[in-house]
Amino acid sequence: MATMAQSTGPEVTLFSRDVLGRYTCNTMSEARDAQNPNINADARPFDVIVIGGGSFAGVFAQHLLTVDAGRRHRVLVLEAGPMLVGEHVQNLPMIGLDTPGPTSIKDLRSAGQATTPRNEVWGLAWHSDIPFTGLAYCVGGRSLYWGGWSPQPLPNELSGWPAAVAADLTGPKGYVEAAKQLGSDSTNDFIYGPLQNALRRILADGSFTHAMSLSALPDHPAVTALGAAATPAEVAEILGLASPDGRTVSQLKNEAKVEAPLAVQALTRPGFFPGNKFSAAPLTVQAARTAWGEWPRLDNLRRRLMIVPNCHVERLVSESGRVTKVQTNQGDIEVLQDAVVVIAAGTIESTRLALVSFDGLPKTGEIGKGLTAHLRSNLTIRVPRTSLPVDPAIAELSEAALFLKGSAVVQGKERFFHLQITAAGLGPQGNNSEAELWKKIPDIDTLNRFRTASDSHVVITIRGIGEMDTDNPKSFVRKDPELDYGTNRAFVGLEASQRDTDLWDAMDACSDEVALAFAGGKGYEILVNPLNNQWVTAASGTSAKDKLPYSEPRRDRLGTTHHEAGSLRMGTDPTTSACDTDGRLHAVSNAYALGPASFPRLGSPNPMLTGAALARRLAQHLAFKPGPQPDGQPGEALPYTAGDGYQVLLDGMDARDWRLAGPGAFPLVDGALVSEPGGELGLSWCNVPTPPDFSLRLQYRLSRFDDNSGVFVRFPDPDKKQYGNPAYVPVHFGFEVQIDDLAGPDERHTGAIYDVVDPGFNRVNSLPPGQWNDLQIDVVSQTYTVTLNGVRTTKVTNTAAGRGLPSTPTVPSFIGLQAHNGRVAFRHMRIKKL
C-alpha cells in the first residue's frame, strides 16, 4: 500500500511552508509506530478510531480530549483529504475556496474531471440519478463552507427520536452547550441597524399562514438568560435597540425569536478571542496541538490524538461481532480489544462503509433506508427603501438576517419548515443580499464605501427549508456495482413524496405572504431568473407565485442542500433502526455512527447543531469507559472500598492537587500519573498535607524490568527550600520507599526504605511490567512499615534527627512520587489518618 513520505518538519512548496499541516497531522507510519509495542514496549494502542475528519469528527475528538479527565483514551482520526485551512473559508480573505455546483459522476467523466478534485478538494463518491455537490475532502469537511444557520429543533421535531436521546439533547448538556460552542446562543452583534430593526418588527408583528405563533415558541437563549424578571429595557438592549420604544416585554421577546440563529461567535470569555463563523477545523487543530503539548518529548509515543490525512477507509473487517481491522489505502489499522470505531465520514459515505463492511451480518436490514435531506426554495425580491418604515435621512441600511418557523399538517402528520431571511441595502442594480451578508470580508476601503452608501433599494432573499418524508422507500443508499478504492461505491436515491410536495407548497405560500409584508402593500420586483439577472415587477398585493411558480428555478434540486441524513438512524428496535441510542450499530459491538446519518428525523434545522450535540454526547459516554489495558492487568475497580476510612489523593480523573518539582514530567495517562524522567531527579508531590500518622495505599506499574522510581513520605514543601533542584528536598528531609528490582543491597531494593538497613528485610520483587502492584506504607511516630502485594517487606524506625518529621499545622509534610529512570505509573492513591 502507498504511504506518505515522512517528514520531521514542515515541507516547503514553491509558494508556502506547510506549518499548519505538519503540526496538525501525522503520517500513517507515525501513527502505526506510535501504537506498536515491537517498536517501544511502552506504546499504548489507539482505542478510538474515527473515520472522517469533517464537521462532527472534529467536535467529537476535541470534546473527548476535554472530558476525558483521566486521559484514558487515544484517538486516531483518518481523514480522506488533506489539511486545507484552519478556519471557515469566510473568516479568511477571499482566496477562491468556493462551493462547486451539483453534478454527477457521469457528468464529471464527460468533462474529463472524474479524478480531479473540484474547487481544490470537492469530490463525488456515489452514483445517483440526481446531481449532488458531493463532499469536501479535507480536515473540517463541509463545515468549512457552512452557511451558519443553526436553529434548534422544536420538541415536536424530536418526535420519533428515542426518548433517552431526546432528553439528553434538550437537557443542560445537549443543545445548550452545543449552541455555546457554535456561537448561536447569542443575538448577532454584527447584524444590527435600521434595516434589521425594521424588518424584524414587520416579521414579529405579522400574521402568516403556516407560520407558527411566536408566543408558542421558546424564548431566545439570550432572553432566557435574563430570567423571568427581565425588563423591556434589558430585552431591548439584547436586540441592539436604544430603548424599548413603547414595546412590552412580550413584544420584544417575540422580536428576539425572529433573530437569525447564526453560528457566528461574536463574544466569548474575557481574554479569549471569538471564533467568528464556526467550523470544525479550529477545534481539530486545537485538539491536535493540545495533545502534542501534553508531552515533554517531541515524539508520538503517547500523544492522545493523531490525524492521518489523505487516508481513504475502504472497509471495516469484523470477527465475532466486533470490528477488528480498518482497511485503508495506506494500509491496515488493527482495532485492538475494547477499542471502538466511530464512523463520521458524511451520511452517504458512512452508510456506504457500513453496507460494504457488514453486509450479511444480522441486524443490518435497516442500513441505507430512511434517507432524507431538505426541501429548499428561494424567493428574492427588491423593494424601494421608501416602502420600509426607516428614516429617509439614514444613508446606509446595511444588512439584516431573520428567521421564521412554520409547520403544516400534511396527510395527518405535522411537518416543519423555516424561512431564512437575508436583506441588504443596495443600489438599484443590486441583486444578491447573501453576497453582501456572507461573502465579503470587509477591508477598510469596503467599509468606507458602506459608510458613504446611498441605499435606494433593499434586496431581500427568503429561503425556505423544509423537512422531507422519513418513510419514503424511494429515498435510500445502497451498494453500486462500480468499485472505488477497491470497494463498492454507493448509489443514492432521493425523491420527494406527495407529503413533501404538500409541505413544499405550504412553505412557498408562507414565503409569498412574508414578501408582501416586506413590500408594505406596495409594488415590488421579483428575481425570476438568477442566471440572467432577470427581474419582473409585481403589482401591489400580487403574490409572487403569479410571477415565479412553485417549481425550478424557485425550488432547488434535492441534492443541493448538503443535509443528507437518516440512513443509519438510531432507535431501540433493530428491525426499524440501524443503530442503538448511543449511535452504536446493532450489527457489531464496537462501531458507532456519528453525524446526521444517525438522525431518526431531520426536522427543518440545519443538522449542525444536533450533530454537534450528539458528537459531544458520544464523547461524554465514551470518556467514562476504561481504555484498553495490557494483558494480565487487573480491572479498573478501585481496590479499596469507600467505607474503609481512606481519603482519595489521586482518583485518576483529576490531578489538580499535584505539583511538579525538578525536571521531567508526570502526565496523567489512562487514569494514572506516569513518571517521565528529564535527565535528573524529578518529583510530583501532592499539595495536600498528610496527617501526623497515616496509612498510604496506592498501585504502581512498571513499564520495564529495570525501571527505578519511589514514593516519598514526610517531607516539607519543596518550594520553600532554597534548592537548585527542589526534587532533592524529599531525599534530604523525608524518606523514600524504593521501587528498583535490580538494586543489589536490600536497603535499596523494591519495598525498602531507601538506605535504611533492616536486618529482617523481606526481599520481594514487583510483578512483571504491565501488571499493577499494591503498595501500602504505614507511618506511626517514627516507625515505617511497607507492604507490597500483601507481603510485609520492611519495618524500620527512624533515628535521624531532622528527617521524616510528622506534619503539623504550621509545618506540614507531604508525599510525592519520584521520576528517576523509566516510566512508572501510579494510581488509586489513598490516605487514612492513624
Q: What is the pLDDT of residue 377?
A: 96
pLDDT tens, position by position, 756-792: 999 999 999 999 998 999 999 999 999 999 999 999 9
Tens digit of pLDDT for each residue in 323-350? 999 999 999 999 988 899 999 999 999 9
Question: What's the pLDDT tens digit per position in 82-138?
Answer: 999 999 988 888 788 889 999 999 999 998 888 889 999 999 999 999 999 999 999
pLDDT at 203: 96
The predicted pLDDT at position 373 comes to 96
Percent of the chain with pLDDT over 70: 90
Which region among 187-196, 373-382, 631-640 has the lowest average model confidence (pLDDT)? 631-640
Greatest C-alpha distance within the chain: 108
**What's the predicted TM-score (pTM) here?**
0.85
pLDDT tier for residue 440 given thresholds of 50, 70 and 90: very low
The model's pLDDT over 306-329, given as tens digits with 9 standing for 90+, comes to 999 999 999 999 999 999 999 999
Q: What is the pLDDT of residues 381-419, one digit of tens each?
A: 989 888 888 877 666 667 788 999 999 999 999 999 999
Mean pLDDT over 738-753 rounds to 94
Closest CA relative to residue 570, chosen from 557, 586, 550, 559: 586
Backbone torsions φ then ψ of 730, nearest 5 degrees: -65, -25
Q: Are strands 313-319 and 322-328 parallel, antiparallel or unpaired?
A: antiparallel
Q: Which cell is 525 given?
A: 420586483
Residue 751: φ, ψ to 5°: 90, -5
Cβ-contact 195, 398 below 8 angstroms: yes
Helix (H, G, I), strand (E, B) or coil at 98: coil
Sign of the Cα torsion 99, 105, 111, 115 reads: positive
Q: Hey, CA dihedral for 498, 502, 503, 504, is it positive or negative?
A: positive
The pLDDT assigned to 396 comes to: 62
Task: Provide the pLDDT for residue 445.
Answer: 47
Q: Does the domain formed by 642-833 have CATH 2.60.120.560?
A: yes
Q: What is the DSSP letter of 522?
A: S
Return left, alpha or beta for 715; rule: phi > 0 is left, psi -120 to 50 is alpha, else beta: beta
Confidence of residue 628 (pLDDT cuts 50, 70, 90): very low
Pairing of strands 75-78, 48-51: parallel
Contacts made by residues 248-254, CB under 8 angstroms, sequence distance 24+? 250/215, 251/204, 251/205, 253/219, 253/220, 253/223, 254/204, 254/214, 254/215
pLDDT in tens, 3-22: 334 456 889 989 999 999 99
Report the alpha-carbon distance of residue 52 to residue 50 in Å, rounded: 6
Taking only the tens place, the pLDDT of each residue in 509-545 is 999 999 999 999 899 999 999 888 899 999 999 999 9
- Residue 271 pLDDT exceeds 90: no
Q: Does 78 have pLDDT greater than 80?
A: yes
Q: Which residues contact 782 (CB under 8 A, 6 or more apart)?
A: 797, 798, 799, 804
User: Mean pLDDT, the chain, as a whole number?
Assistant: 88
CATH number of 19-148+273-370+565-623: 3.50.50.60
Residue 270 pLDDT > 70: no
User: Where do the domains of the chain lie?
Assistant: 19-148+273-370+565-623, 194-258, 642-833
pLDDT digits (tens, 9 = 90+) for 350-365: 999 999 999 999 999 9
Check pLDDT > 80 for residue 266.
no
Residue-wise pLDDT tens digits, 146-164: 988 899 999 999 999 999 9
Residue 711 · residue 817 · CB < 8 Å:
yes
Residue pair 804/730 in contact by the 8 Å Cβ criterion? no
Which residues is 91 bridged to in the sheet?
none
Residue 6: alpha-carbon gap to chain centroid: 28
**Residue ranges of E strands in 532-625:** 534-538, 591-593
Identical fold for domains 19-148+273-370+565-623 and 642-833, yes or no, is no
- Give DSSP secondary structure letters for 664-683: SB--EETTEEE-B--SS-EE
Whether the per-residue pLDDT at 81 is higher than 80: the answer is yes
Give the CA distances from residue 628 to residues 84, 97, 101, 428, in Å, rounded to whole numbers and listed in that order. Answer: 33, 41, 45, 66
Amino acid at 586: H
Predicted pLDDT at 642: 52
pLDDT score of 530? 83
pLDDT in tens, 791-811: 999 999 999 988 999 999 999
Closest Cα partner for 301 from 736, 674, 682? 674
Nearest to 265 by CA among 185, 145, 176, 174: 185
Banded pLDDT at 554 (limits 50, 70, 90) = very high
Among candidate residues 545, 549, 465, the one with its CA nearest the CA of residue 500: 465
CA atoms of 135 and 57, how far apart (whole Å): 14
